[in-house]
Amino acid sequence: MNLYEAIKNKQEKISVIGLGYVGLPLAISFAKVADVVGFDISKEKVSKYLNGIDVTKEVGDEAVKETKAMLTWEEKHLKSCKFHIVAVPTPINTDKTPNLNPVISASQIVGRNLTKGSIVVYESTVYPGVTEEICVPILERESGLKCGVDFKVGYSPERINPGDKVHRLENIVKVVSGMDEESLEIIAKVYELVVQAGVYKAESIKVAEAAKVIENSQRDINIAFMNELSIIFNKLGIDTKSVLEAAGTKWNFLKFTPGLVGGHCIGVDPYYLTYKAEQIGYHSQIILAGRKINDDMGKYVAENVVKNMIKADKPIKGSTVVIFGVTFKENCPDVRNTKVVDIVKELKEYGINVKIVDPIADETDLWNTYGIKLCDPENIKDVDAVIFAVPHEEFKNIKLDDIKKLYNKKWNGHFYEKDEVAASLESENENGKYVLIDVKGMFNRKEAENNGFLYWRL
């Protein structure tokens, strides 16, 4: 009986190392058809899962409560598993070079608990060569076993889109690879247990690693092009969204939009590829140019906030700006590498007080990573400008009249009594004194401008 049959018959276990946005859905899904051990080094995170709280909001509290997976922070339980899936993050350092520490640490943990006849599959995004050249030697050293003889390895890049309730693990084609035909077949069959869309067998581990890293690099470059267009069209006084809607009527026009590109994938993966390219003597031109544009968009947005505040005769130093949304993307609590933080930093450089409202952001991560605290929306008032940075579903019901109530009642240097406010605001509305920065174009431009807003978007 091979390993696939043993897993299917629940005679051998699967382990998932790293219970984040990728690992948790994997563990939950596999636990429906196999015996699973889900491991994470964070005792705090695992404790929340054990109490039925899904901190990732990827599968929901109910699924976490009901799962048959054994969730633990004790690595000794990995010894009972034969099919190990490593799903830890692969961030970048401050100098934009790959930070392989999480995948190295995970390899050491797996290696210490590796037994003969096991297969180790990496899902973490890496540059071509990491699995075989960096991870395998660690597994061998820690276990005392020989790769290809005592255990085998494979690579299957994650394609989960955090916050996306449509494209899930089960209905996205899964790329799989193995170090030889036998391992490839077993890995493919194990993933087919949960991936209804089927698997694609890559011809080698390096091909699978490369495929993953270019998926996000391609998206990054396309968004960078949109961001550059946005900068150009803003200078020309043309609405970018209107241009893209017109161009989008052509059948082969790619429908990307400008925006802040952060997170642990698109904002990171291109640097893994360019790092490897540098090692072999090639300096990237297109990939790094796109990254430069996207990395600077937070600062660009902040500069336009200030310009529009000046246009509206708002004070800059000591003023208050509220930002709606701080996560790296909509409908996802993940704040890793969020570019909204770049807007915050830049505005603070101008002496602006910044308040942030986000109903779904992970408050603990936000504080630990950036030292930022969220504000209760009920306490937001007397602001000089409003920024909608992330289009969460929770924000879709906010009306322009609701936004008006947030602004400062200080007009032309004077505070007005309640009975004077209405007449004063009416005249000021005509001059567009409500500064509204709508990064992703949630609101209708004409409607906003007709309601007295000084409106700007990418």
Answer for the pair 401, 349: CB distance below 8 angstroms, yes or no: no
Taking residue 370's Cβ as centre, other Cβ atoms within 10 Å add up to 15
Choose, from 81, 265, 332, 375, the residue flagged as catalytic: 265
φ/ψ region of 26 (left if φ > 0, alpha if ψ in -120 to 50, else beta) reads: alpha
Provide the token pair at 289. Answer: 């140019």
DSSP string of 40-87, one letter each residue: -S-HHHHHHHHTT--TT-SS-HHHHHH--SEEES-GGGGGGEEEEEE-
Residue 1 Cα distances to 4, 12, 69, 121, 186, angstroms: 8, 11, 24, 20, 11
* Distant-in-sequence, close-in-space partners of 279: CB < 8 Å, separation ≥ 6: none
Answer for the pair 267, 328: CB distance below 8 angstroms, yes or no: yes
Rounded-to-integer distance, Cα 347 and Cα 274, Å: 31
- Of 28, 45, 50, nearest to 37 by C-alpha is 28
SS3 at position 247: helix
Q: Kindly compute the dihedral angle of the four CA atoms of residues 362, 366, 372, 377, in this order, to the nearest 10 degrees.
A: -10
Is the C-alpha dihedral spanning 376, 378, 381, 383 positive or negative? positive
Whose tokens are 């005249």? That residue is 427
DSSP string of 180-236, one letter each residue: SHHHHHHHHHHHHTT-TT-EEE-SSHHHHHHHHHHHHHHHHHHHHHHHHHHHHHHHH
Residue 265 annotated in active site? yes
- Of 116, 89, 114, nearest to 104 by C-alpha is 89
Q: In this structure, which amino acid lies at residue 368?
A: N
Taking residue 456's Cβ as centre, other Cβ atoms within 10 Å add up to 21
Report the catalytic residues.
Answer: 265
